[in-house]
Amino acid sequence: MKSFIWIPIALLIAACGRNEDGASVATTSAPQTTATAEATAGGAVQLSPTKGNTANGGLNVSAAGSGVKLSGMIQGLKPDSEFGFHFHEKGDCSAPDATSAGAHFNPTDHDHGNPQAQPHHAGDMLNVKSDAQGVAEVSIDNPEVSLQTGQPNDILGKALVVHAKPDDYQTQPSGDSGDRIACGVVAIQTN
């Protein structure tokens, strides 16, 4: 008699995963759907080396609270070193030295500084650090900028630049971070 009880239960469980025609139906939870929507609406930056340099990489840019999160990898860097890392005002990396990207992104007209203190440019971020192989794993939150908001602090279409030296967070107007060794423009990521 016990086996007769299990047969209807097994049939009920199997039916829950099918539509009216009997075809299997995939189900997803709300958090997975939300994560997919956020990834689709995110941005990306493909960093290319400037003339005579080898730094390159790819970064994802996503909304994080009122700011953005950058994550990804930069390679071709000098091993075991730090590099200035900033958003710049123009989305133009066409010059061989990336000077076409303009100055640091600074929609609020502040002095340059450490992003963990005030004042600083909206585009100022902590230095990226390379490992012994010349690779930097990037995971940076920037609460001063936005993505796809249309606000003055929106970085869509702005350049992201890697510099040859670490930012000292003091020297005006750019932290004495040296030449631009890689540049890329923030674009909408298409999947």
Contact 62, 38 (CB under 8 A): yes
Cα separation, 102 vs 86, whole angstroms: 11
Cβ contacts of residue 34 below 8 Å, gap of 6+? none
Positions annotated as catalytic residues are: 86, 88, 104, 112, 121, 124, 163, 180
Q: Which of 69, 60, 13, 25 is nearest to 40 (CA)?
A: 60
Contact 170, 164 (CB under 8 A): no
Residue type for position 55:
A
Please state whether beta strands 43-49 and 180-185 pair in parallel, antiparallel, or not at all (unpaired).
antiparallel
Q: Do the Cβ atoms of 188 and 43 come closer than 8 Å?
A: yes
